[in-house]
Structure 1
Amino acid sequence: MASHPEYDQYTTATEVARAFSEDVRGKTVVIVGVSPQSLGESMTTALAAHSPSLVLLASRTKAKIEQVVTKVKADHPTLRLEIVEVDLSSFDSIRKGSKIINDLVDRIDILINNAAVVMTTHAFTREGLELQFGTNHIGPFLLTNLLMPKLVRAAQSSATGSTRVINVTSQGHMISPIRFSDHSFHKRPEEIPAEERPMSRPGVSFDPPPGETYAPFVAYGQSKTANILMSLYLNQHLSGAGIQSIATHPGSIWTDLSRNLDEKHLSIIEKTGGFWKDLDQGSATTLVAALDPNLADPKVIYLSDCQVAKPADWASDGRAAEQLWKLSEDIVGQQFDLAAACRL
């Protein structure tokens, strides 16, 4: 159970950072996915007020990160901020960016994988992956593993479970499991195994139109399921080393994430949200996951509205987590031995 059972959808990141101020002080935090008017900016602003040792901001566009830095520095001129360009849709960019990050920090206490895309067209990464799966899961998977030695170093001198990897997911994970047989959407739904098909309910269909194979929200849902399964796998293999991973659903928030949606898909999104959060409220759950010492439990893998929640069954399946990890290693062409990493 979280330390503050009274926290809910209205709680703000500002409140959370204040409540856990001592858990922020002196920490090295890496936030991936930072631009003006984003959750990444909101998290940075909330943390900056409580004396972290270093906040490193990584994102695809340097100019946008610099705008956030200028704004934060105006209120916290002595805070150490570093910026690194990382495009999560490019393995080359991730490998270069991770090297720069590793050179800048001696440890990473908190890694927040916040970057994501939402697409309506069947687009692909430079390596030929469906863009949402490639950017929202494979990119953070590779980056996290390349930064693992610095996470392990932090864990070796910290309280068990206080070193955290936070994967920002979405309630949209309930739309779809992982399509292991067709993760880049080249097949029709009826051509894949029944257990890999999206959710269905009366009056709601997530199938693509006749003759097409791409279903944008199913692809998004798959990538968000992957975020939770990654946290599940990390907890299974790293909890003994003192590292905790939690996936968080931030809630319904209008951010720049919706920039690629057309009117049809925007109208669908509008109907899914009950309470629409502002950015400060939308960042709160992720900071609870990153900071609350009561959550140092490998069984905790998913938070919503600042409290422990239960994800869809397909997102809490240990076998699926193992299968996804192996698939991800095959895709990036590199194996990651977490047990060996913890012995470094």
Structure 2
Amino acid sequence: MSAPVVPSRTCEDWKQTFHGFWPGKPSFKEDKYPSLEGKVVIVTGGNTGVGYETVKSLAGSTKAKLYIFSRSEEKTLAAIKQIQLEVAKEYNVPNRDINFIKVDLSDLETIKPAVQKFLSQESRLDLIIHNAGVMTPPVGSESKQGYELQLGTNVLGPHLLQRLLDPIFIETSKKNAPGESRIVWVASSAHLSAPLGGFHWADLNFEKLKSPSMNEQMMIYGQSKAGNVIQARTWTRKHNTGSQIISSSVCPGFLSTDLQRNTPYLLTLLGKLLLHPRRMGAYTELFAAFSPDVKDGSHSISFGVPSYARKDIIEDEACDKAWNFFTEATDPYITWQDWKQVLHGFWPGKPSFKEDKYPSLEGKVVIVTGGNTGVGYETVKSLAGSTKAKLYILSRSEEKTLEAIKQMQLEVAKEYNVSNRDINFIKVDLSDLETIKPAVQKFLSQESRLDLIIHNAGVMMPPVGSKSKQGYELQLGTNVVGPHLLQRLLDPIFIETSKKNAPGQSRIVWVASTAHQLAPLGGFHWADLNFDKLKNISKNDQMTIYGQSKAGNVIQARTWTRKHNTGSQIISSSLCPGYLDTDLQRHASFMEKIIYSLTLHPRRMGAYTELFAAFSPDVKDGSHSISFGTQSHARKDIIQDEACDKVWDFLTEATNPYM
């Protein structure tokens, strides 16, 4: 195997290198930054080093909404507090809000959940600074996916992050002036030490290089920084965004930061004498972010000077080869159909399947769980106003439900001109399995048929540690185990009724969520279903736990007919009703509620999704619908028969004692 070849440095290369030691003073500073009011910015690794200073400068001199994407929640929250103190002191801006989302760029599996969390909070993205990185770690260090650690953390992680953010970023750029939307890839003059063409393709991880010298370690680091130069150079060409977006790379400067934490003691000591304060690096990064002198694909050096990257690295052939490798390496961690579904929730269009298309349901009986609030309320109201079905709300609070029914009757009379609409209530607490059989018995004492059931009730992100009466994590107990028992107890009357209806008229609607995309592999975390062993639960973790319960609903919808051999007579399907402003967010923080109020849709729209699943001829058994009546799909690993059977068997065993 041939040894890696590093081209000799030219005079211009050496000029760039020496510039790092004697760069002069920055001329593009805070007084030249735009206000960024209404804009959203992400800085990776913004809890330390140059990233810290970049966030601080943005916090003090702009009005952008700021997000730090980083690995350690504890360290980042501490850093944010310190940044806020310094911003108040240095810029006279008190209580500056800075947001944190947890991600580990060395582990590709953590990136999609982080982006999904961001997308659940924001509907735009104007600037991203790929600042996070690692430099000369212990020899042999690898990323979670087995890549040399610098290659994995500095290149592949950011590449996947950018790919997942591309849709919202490109969409936002259309609202901005040309060149306002930017991607800053933090590279280094160390890219001059990279192998010929940027990458040592014969041995990307340098596994054949035994006991690498310091020069060789810099070459390995240089390979990762060449990757950043290539990303900056190639992004716009691959996305055909013309002059609308500027993607560029920078060497922030020769700086004293935590990036040198793995270097030998003597080099660290030398660095203290030769390196510049990390704040100077922020000026370089923000020069690339805002200066009109920065062009797409360009490379800047300390502390805001346009420069160039090594020629053999930025040739199209070298760039395309690296780009194709990055794409292939990150493909397994991205499903564009999943992302299309996520983004659809923000811009779903108008519902086309509405009351004028609903059947009369005269003589039919319908149950809606949780029909006293939120989407359930709107679903019952729509049914009450536009059909003649006999309606039952199954919910926990008698007082609240009877009040809701009175209010609903007033609204139905006003909106649909239907007076004194009869709506029935049966008390049940889906978080307590012992209450479900008595509720079903009461229903059976009053009715001899059941044509439609909408499993709408649920809870989302309750206080950490909340449990159901039987000791299940509260969302698992309320959203999955409770509805499973309820359906089992109603199955006999429901199946019997279906025989009197035309094929496909009898339906079960399981209200899931696009959050099922955040569930563990296979849907359930079997090693710790209640997540009791997960300490210091982050918001990302909470979404995973909620996602597990919604994966359960998808599985119930997918599996019911197969387990009951009812053929085409009954349709069981799942849905995400939409990104809606409902009581489901009652456990969210104050700031999260403000964000939701700005990004979420009226709850009535969710009723159209639920009733699309209940009545549309386009809905097939086991299918999944999204807002506001669009056929979609569920995550593939969740709907495999093996995964479904494992969950179904668990739910059956869990509910057997209450049958």
Which of 103, 127, 136 is the matching residue for 2:445?
Answer: 103
1:191-340 aligned at under 5 Å gives the runs 209=536, 215-238=541-564, 239-240=566-567, 242-263=569-590, 266=593, 270=596, 276-295=600-619, 297-334=620-657
SS at match of 1:103: helix
Which residue pairs with 2:259 in the alignment?
none
Q: Is the 8 A contact 1:33 1:116 kept in 2?
A: yes
Measured in 1, the distance between the counterparts of 2:635 and 2:627 equals 13
Tell me the alpha carbon deviations over residues 271-326 of structure 1, each in whole angstroms, 9 at most, x when there is no partner: xx99521121121111000011332x325244443111011123322211111111
**C-alpha displacement at 1:265, in angstroms?**
5.6
Q: Is the 8 A contact 1:55 1:80 kept in 2?
A: yes
Which residue pairs with 1:113 in the alignment?
455
Matched, 1:166 2:509: yes
Q: Is the 8 A contact 2:372 2:405 kept in 1?
A: no
Tell me the alpha carbon deviations over residues 138-195 of structure 1, each in whole angstroms, 9 at most, x when there is no partner: 011110111111211220100112111101111111101211232111234xxxxxxx
SS at match of 1:253: coil
Measured in 2, the distance between the counterparts of 1:181 and 1:266 equals 33
Amino acid at match of 2:512: T
Which residue pairs with 2:368 in the alignment?
31
Which residue pairs with 2:488 in the alignment?
145
SS at match of 2:464: coil
**C-alpha displacement at 1:217, in angstroms?**
1.5
Amino acid at match of 1:306: G
Q: Is the 8 A contact 1:162 1:293 kept in 2?
A: no
Which of 405, 417, 423 is the matching residue for 1:81?
Answer: 423
Distance of aligned partners of 1:275 and 1:236 in 2 relative to their CA distance in 1, 3 Å threshold: farther
Q: Is the 8 A contact 1:10 1:281 kept in 2?
A: no
Measured in 2, the distance between the counterparts of 1:107 and 1:323 equals 31
**C-alpha displacement at 1:122, in angstroms?**
1.2
Indicate the percent of aligned positions where both proteins have the same amino acid. 23
Matched, 1:9 2:352: no
Which residue pairs with 1:202 in the alignment?
none
Q: Is the 8 A contact 1:228 1:302 kept in 2?
A: no
Measured in 2, the distance between the counterparts of 1:96 and 1:285 equals 30
**C-alpha displacement at 1:120, in angstroms?**
3.5
Give the alignment's Cα RMSD to 1 decimal.
2.6
Which residue pairs with 1:59 in the alignment?
395
Tell me the alpha carbon deviations over residues 41-96 of structure 1, each in whole angstroms, 9 at most, x when there is no partner: 10111111233230001111111111221123332345332101110000111121
Amino acid at match of 2:391: V
Amino acid at match of 1:312: R
Distance of aligned partners of 1:294 and 1:27 in 2 relative to their CA distance in 1, 3 Å threshold: farther
Distance of aligned partners of 1:81 and 1:35 in 2 relative to their CA distance in 1, 3 Å threshold: closer
Which residue pairs with 1:201 in the alignment?
none
Which residue pairs with 1:180 in the alignment?
526
Q: Is the 8 A contact 1:156 1:241 kept in 2?
A: no
SS at match of 1:143: helix
Measured in 1, the distance between the counterparts of 2:568 and 2:445 equals 23
Distance of aligned partners of 1:280 and 1:290 in 2 relative to their CA distance in 1, 3 Å threshold: same
Amino acid at match of 1:125: S
SS at match of 2:354: helix
SS at match of 2:611: helix
Equivalent pairs counted in the alignment come to 302
Which residue pairs with 1:135 in the alignment?
478
Measured in 2, the distance between the counterparts of 1:301 and 1:9 equals 15
Q: Is the 8 A contact 1:12 1:282 kept in 2?
A: no
Distance of aligned partners of 1:49 and 1:263 in 2 relative to their CA distance in 1, 3 Å threshold: closer
Q: Which has the higher contact order (CA 8 A, sep 6+)?
A: 1
**C-alpha displacement at 1:105, in angstroms?**
1.8
Amino acid at match of 1:284: Y
Q: Is the 8 A contact 1:169 1:228 kept in 2?
A: yes
Tell me the alpha carbon deviations over residues 100-122 of structure 1, each in whole angstroms, 9 at most, x when there is no partner: 12222211111000011121311
Measured in 2, the distance between the counterparts of 1:320 and 1:11 equals 34
Gaps of 5+ in 2: 1-346
SS at match of 2:381: helix
Q: Which is higher, the Rg of structure 1 or of structure 2?
A: 2
Q: Is the 8 A contact 1:35 1:41 kept in 2?
A: yes
Q: Is the 8 A contact 2:572 2:622 kept in 1?
A: no
Amino acid at match of 1:93: T
TM-score by length of 2: 0.43
Amino acid at match of 2:427: E
Q: Is the 8 A contact 1:249 1:304 kept in 2?
A: yes
Q: Is the 8 A contact 1:133 1:222 kept in 2?
A: yes
Amino acid at match of 1:217: M
TM-score by length of 1: 0.80
Q: Is the 8 A contact 1:28 1:52 kept in 2?
A: no
Which of 381, 384, 388 is the matching residue for 1:48?
Answer: 384
SS at match of 1:157: coil
Q: Is the 8 A contact 2:434 2:658 kept in 1?
A: no
SS at match of 1:240: coil
Distance of aligned partners of 1:150 and 1:17 in 2 relative to their CA distance in 1, 3 Å threshold: farther
Measured in 2, the distance between the counterparts of 1:265 and 1:184 equals 24
Measured in 2, the distance between the counterparts of 1:72 and 1:209 equals 42
SS at match of 1:29: strand
